[in-house]
Structure 1
Amino acid sequence: MSATGLEVFDTTLHKTHAWLKAIMEALGLEDRHRAYMALRAVLHALRDRLPVEEVAQLGAELPMLVRGLYYEGWDPTGKPLKERHKEEFLAHVARELRTPSGPALDPEAAARAVFQVLAQKVSEGEIRDVQNLLPKELRELWPR
């Protein structure tokens, strides 16, 4: 039985749920909303750190629904940000994670979990391209 009546929407919902489940497992969460917040925060911080061309190339490999949240609110003016140190990047993630309720997720754990899922779900070549554009400190957040 189709959830939406459109196969393309059902497919992206299924893929997005799989991504969120993997993030929940990596973070030891049972809350899908917190996994969504981690995915969104890390994708936004990564997106804002990449050159515009690479933002589009990575976005093209994301499931449709994930791609929508990746681009949500994006303004390419002044991008990429020059966050060269892990602390700067994680501060960006922390700002995106801020919510009025509930304890905040650890931004480093969130980054590592999302990067792990990206490394599993996005082509190896695209992940290599993204990593090669990042400073060493940020590459160290990715799984080996």
Structure 2
Amino acid sequence: MPMPQTYFHASRDFDAFIKDVRDTCMLQTHHQAYHTLRAVLHTFRSHLTVRDALRFSDILPAVTRAIFLENWEPLEPPAPFPDRPVLIMEMKSVRQDHNLAPDSAIEDVAAALRRSSIDTKDLERVLAILPEGATEFWKS
């Protein structure tokens, strides 16, 4: 079996994706875009069970998947998805002193994710089996 393209082109694809996140969020640097992406992904992950998070991670490109799963300690059952203002507050609390994410970051990252190498049909299929609120989280 040949090496999957998602691994072969991982750096190139992630570089294009993080530039899209930077531009869509109107951030200044790749570092700001990375931390914004990380905050959005970890906020989403915090409302999923391990099984659901792994289902979601399976559809992500390689580097984005690694960021989604990094430093995860799933010890307690996740809380249900709250409303958008609470999600924004949660997202902004990730690395709070270094977080420059705009209020629109969840929608911005969702739009960039849909434009990247993710298969939109796979995204919709997985979101349909995740808890209530997951689909709404990724609306752009």
Q: Normalising by structure 1, what TM-score?
A: 0.76
C-alpha displacement of 1:10: 5.9
Q: In 2, are the aligned partners of 1:52 and 1:80 still within 8 Å (CA)?
A: no
| 1:54–1:130 contact (8 Å) kept in structure 2 | no
Aligned to 2:121: 125
Q: Which amino acid aligns with 2:74?
A: P
Unaligned runs of 5+ in 2: none
Over 3 Å counting, the alpha-carbon distance change for 1:9 and 1:99 in structure 2 is: farther
Flag structure 1 segments of 5+ consecutive residues without an equivalent. 1-6
Q: Distance in 1 between matches of 2:112 and 2:59?
A: 13
Partner in structure 2 of residue 4 of structure 1: none
The Cα of 1:104 is off from its aligned counterpart by: 2.5
Between 1 and 2, higher relative CO (CA 8 Å, sep ≥ 6) is seen in: 2
Length-normalised TM-score, structure 2: 0.78
RMSD of aligned Cα (Å)? 2.6
Q: How many residues end up aligned between the 2 structures?
A: 133
Residue deviations 1:7-29 (CA, integer Å, cap 9, x gap): 97662111111110111121122
**Equivalent residue runs for 1:1-144 within 5 Å:** 11-100=9-98, 104-106=100-102, 108-121=103-116, 122-128=118-124, 129-130=126-127, 133-135=131-133, 139=136, 142-143=139-140
Q: Sequence identity of aligned pairs in percent?
A: 19
CA distance in 2, matches of 1:49, 1:31: 28
Alignment correspondent of 1:3? none
Contact 2:106 2:137 in 1 (8 A): no
- Deviation beyond 4 Å, 4+ runs, structure 1: 7-10
CA deviation map 1:41-62 (0-9, x unaligned)? 0000111112322211221122
